[in-house]
């Protein structure tokens, strides 16, 4: 398995703070993890992630 290249969220607190990281998976899929739990990885489709982010940006899903 090739080594994953993780990208931190632009809302990251920086350093070793709490942040969400993303890495490309198979075409159309993306891996997600929290920086403080790097061995716990979930995978979703790019479409589902895009829909979640749009909902959060619109203030839905009790976004805070």
Span 1-42, pLDDT tens digits: 578 999 987 766 666 667 889 999 999 999 999 988 999 999
- What pLDDT, on the 0 to 100 scale, is given for residue 14? 60
Beta-strand ranges (E) seen in 2-55 are 7-8, 20-24, 29-34, 37-45
Q: Domain for residue 22, yes or no? A: yes
**Structural domain range at position 27:** 7-57
Do the domain assignments include residue 2?
no
Closest CA to 5 of 17, 18, 21, 20: 21
Task: List Cβ neighbours of 56 (8 Å cut-off, separation of 6 or more).
Answer: 63
Q: Is residue 64 part of a domain?
A: no
Number of domains the chain is built from: 1
Q: What is the pLDDT of residue 35?
A: 85
Residue 44 inside a domain? The answer is yes
The verdict on residue 38 lying in a domain is: yes
Residue 15's pLDDT is what? Answer: 61
pLDDT at 1: 57
- pLDDT confidence of residue 25: 92
**Contact between residue 19 and residue 31 where contact means Cβ atoms under 8 Å apart:** no
């Amino acid at each position: 398995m090739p080594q994953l290249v993780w990208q931190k969220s632009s809302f990251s607190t920086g350093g070793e703070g709490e942040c969400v990281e993303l890495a490309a998976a198979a075409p159309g899929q993306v891996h997600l993890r929290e920086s403080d739990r790097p061995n716990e990885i979930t995978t979703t489709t790019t479409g589902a992630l895009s829909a979640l982010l749009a909902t959060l940006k619109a203030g839905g899903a009790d976004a805070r």
